[in-house]
């Protein structure tokens, strides 16, 4: 059996921070691209009839909710800051519960930070990913960004952890002892 050396342990300990930084960079660099080169409301077809890039901004929450309220930006900034503090504390205490939970939390934190940066710098969030499900009869889905995707995937991972993977999970398959 090989023992992990000091450098290996340090890399393993630093990996979540590296992943978090990469998530934030991907989100912010893609948003920067649209700030610099995007034309609001103009579709760039990636996969005809299905996937488009469409630069838009959102001053509200999910699906533009509360975008018409003057107090919303202050509310979003305060609640996001508090949520990030809470998530960081949660990560600190829950990270030893396994990689699934740890990286789910990293995705949620990365997504929250990505959109928080937008709100702090521009008082709006840049969105650009657009999918059309008209072929399923569902129409076009709301435009979103990578931070939104990180948040959704992270929340799903956290739910899966607590529903199926955690030692006390409600839907965990347990061995029966005879």
Active site residues: 127, 148
List b or e across 156-176, with b for residues whose CB sees 16 or more CB atoms inside 10 angstroms.
Answer: ebbebbbeebbeeeeeeeeee
Strands (E) located in the chain: 43-47, 51-58, 125-131
3-state secondary structure of 43: strand
Token pair in block for residue 69: 């309220």
Contact criterion met (CB below 8 Å) for 119 and 83: no
Residues 148, 76, 161, 20, CA torsion sign: positive
């Amino acid at each position: 059996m090989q023992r992990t050396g000091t450098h290996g342990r340090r890399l393993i300990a630093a990996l979540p921070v590296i992943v978090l930084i990469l998530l934030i960079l991907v989100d912010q660099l893609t948003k920067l691209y649209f700030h610099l080169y995007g034309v609001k409301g103009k579709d760039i077809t990636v996969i005809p009839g299905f996937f488009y890039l469409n630069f838009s901004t959102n001053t509200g929450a999910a699906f533009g909710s509360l975008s018409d309220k003057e107090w919303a930006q202050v509310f979003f900034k305060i609640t996001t800051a508090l949520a990030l503090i809470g998530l960081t504390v949660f990560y600190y205490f829950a990270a030893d519960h396994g990689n699934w939970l740890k990286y789910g939390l990293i995705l949620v934190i990365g997504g929250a930070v990505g959109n928080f940066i937008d709100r702090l710098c521009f008082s709006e969030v840049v969105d650009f990913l657009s999918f059309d499900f008209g072929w399923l009869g569902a129409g076009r889905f709301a435009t979103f960004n990578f931070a939104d995707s990180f948040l959704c995937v992270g929340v799903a991972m956290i739910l899966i952890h607590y529903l199926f993977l955690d030692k006390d999970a409600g839907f965990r398959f347990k061995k029966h002892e005879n």
